[in-house]
Amino acid sequence: QVQLVESGGGLVQAGGSLRLSCAASARTFSRYAMGWFRQAPGKEREFVATISWSGGSTYYANSVKGRFTFSRDNAKNTVFLQMNNLKPEDTAVYYCAAGLVSNSDSLVLTASRYDYWGQGTQVTVSS
């Protein structure tokens, strides 16, 4: 069982920045690819970014590419999503997810492949 706890959400003006964190309880955290998803009101949950177990590979949704950076610190069982140049359309609840993988460079893009989810943290970007 892996528990994920997100933090760092809040209210920010357009063009501003936020840094989300997700702390994991897993003993074998480094065996998990991690992902961020988001869900805006009235919309389906959508993929934001994923990072491999090693941290050496990342993949981003086109909508956030160049603005968001996903990183991880396996020694602290924590991942981070640095969000810059935020836009009102980034407003959503952001969820952290963990998916067990066998390859250190594997990326997981689909929600159904993730095994554990956090409760989410609200990000609101005002115009």
Instruction: Determine contact, residues 70/61, Cβ cutoff 8 Å.
Output: no
pLDDT greater than 80 at residue 26: no
pLDDT, residue 30, reads 80
pLDDT, residue 114, reads 96
- Give the CA dihedral 111, 96, 106, 2, nearest 10 degrees: -100
Q: Count CB-CB contacts under 10 A for residue 120.
A: 18
SS3 75: helix
pLDDT greater than 80 at residue 95: yes
Q: Which single residue is written with the structure tokens 């480094």? A: 30
In sequence order, the 6+-apart residues with CB closer than 8 A to the CB of 115 are: 2, 32, 98, 99, 100
Of the pLDDT bands very low, low, confident and very high (cuts 50, 70, 90), residue 54 is very high
